[in-house]
Structure 1
Amino acid sequence: MGRRSKGRDISGWLVIDKPAGPTSTTVVNKVRWAMNAKKAGHAGTLDPDATGVLAIALGEATKTVPYITDALKAYTFTVRLGQATNTDDAEGEVIAQSDMRPTDDQIKDALGAFVGDIMQVPPQFSAVKIDGQRAYKRAREGEEMEIAARPLWVEELLMTDRPDADHVTLEMTCGKGGYVRSIARDLGAAMGCFAHVRALRRIWSGPFDAEDGLTLEQVEALAGDPALDAHLRPVEEGLADLPELKATAEGAVRLRNGNPGMVLPSDVEYGDEVWVSFEGKAVAVGRYKAGEVHPARVFNH
């Protein structure tokens, strides 16, 4: 007889306002423990020192994680001007310095080059894999690597405050895979003054806002309490960026069994990726083809 996984079959999203300190994995494990959940994961890593939205997927919601990972996200961050560090944040060693400080107008002018489709080189201390090994592991051993630039969509990058000559606060909305530390590093290089991230907060991610998140203290206080379940958001919120189609009763049965199923008429295009609901619950994600949806993911909740 096979071993059964421990924990409850519970599905939905729990939004955490992550404090500085713990890793994203630590937060996932804390939530899984507090809710006695069988399965949990997160949508988009935050650096240990970063704060803000960490959306935790439980049970069937883990099947929607890629759609939150791909969604737009917004960050507010403070950049320290005049210093470059080997980690591109305040945790690292200072490796270059400058007495030059750009004016507010010079900073605003420089931001334009970082908006739209840009190419970005991840930090040396990042989770990017180089020859099968995480870059940060090789960086800790003193190795300096050539990391390939990768595309990033930056919707908006604004200067929101200039507390003093050494610091500037920026707000960025971007797509999947953005490194705020790289933005700070490259902005400093572009202005000839060096820079790194001093503080970072993710204020929203897809449909989830930091101000709606629970603190880890609240999660711990409510561990094992049904009141914690009341904070769960529906699985369907993870699909907010996809068009929704409604299944017929027969179509829902077929889709749940992994077969193409009939949906009600809609204006989506042939081949579009969609999610299908029946009586308000997610049934499947798949491709729309001539009145049917061919499922790629099926929900059992």
Structure 2
Amino acid sequence: MTAISELGAGEFSHQALLYHDDSSYLAGVVPFVLEGLAAGKPVAVAVPGPKLDRIEAALGPAARDVRLLDMAEVGRNPGRIIPSVLHDFADAHQGRVRVLGEPIWPERSSAEYPACVQHEALINASFAGSAVTILCPYDTSRLSEQALADAHATHPVIADESGTRASEGYAPDEAFSRYNLPLTAPPDAEEFSFDLGSLTKARHVAVARGAALGLSQDRLDDFALAVAELCANSVQHGGGSGVLRVWREHGDVIAEVSDRGYLSDPLAGRRPASPRQLGGRGLLLVHRVVDLVRTHSTPEGTTTRIYLRG
């Protein structure tokens, strides 16, 4: 696995902003946005909806020059933030941009949180050597001590009311690995073993089970597409076969695919596809159409789990 922390820094900046109330939040984020605009840089703000409204109001007329995004929507699946939010904006402006992005907030679920930390760790590898500047706010009054420790591990620079400093706990590779957690399906999950000859049947099994578990037709189409991509990936890269499991949990319809492959590239599925690229879009597509992706991968095998809200 490529060491996240060993890739060059260039002009790239990835900072965690530690704030404790609305006043310290706006005092940190508004100057960041206005300084970017004053320097002639495109600026995007991707934070949860209520905070987006506060920032827009605080910016006044300057808000018209900022790309405003509700992170609760565009970043519902943390795995699509890098390709579909950060790269989408940076690549459209030749990379010299500022982004205020808040992927971790107190209402994130326990299932989402590990994927959020891995996303933050991977930002450093994805944009190393670029001129992208990213500021990520963290609520010290409501987030756990572990979440704040993870912020120090995934950001090379920490900012707060006292200024900025290098993070003494910066260790993105360790943070990513810490949340490469085993995934165990419940005993009542629908299970189907597949290989090349039964890929179509695997998709039909998933669709039938997803419909029985209450997915709408639109969501069922996304579910079928994601499952088909994961199963095909197992056949091509995971030893020629795999096991599909489907169940419902806490309002989500969940499917996971396990195989004997090893996902050695932590950025797989998070790099934007080149227009001339042949293949290699399967995991990227999965991240785009589902609400959450969790992965556990070791040299002994890989399990990829997808969540869709019913």
Bin for the TM-score computed over the shorter chain: under 0.3
TM-score (norm 1): 0.26
Of Structure 1 and Structure 2, the greater strand share is in 1
Of Structure 1 and Structure 2, the greater helix share is in 2
TM-score (norm 2): 0.26
| Bigger Cα Rg | 1
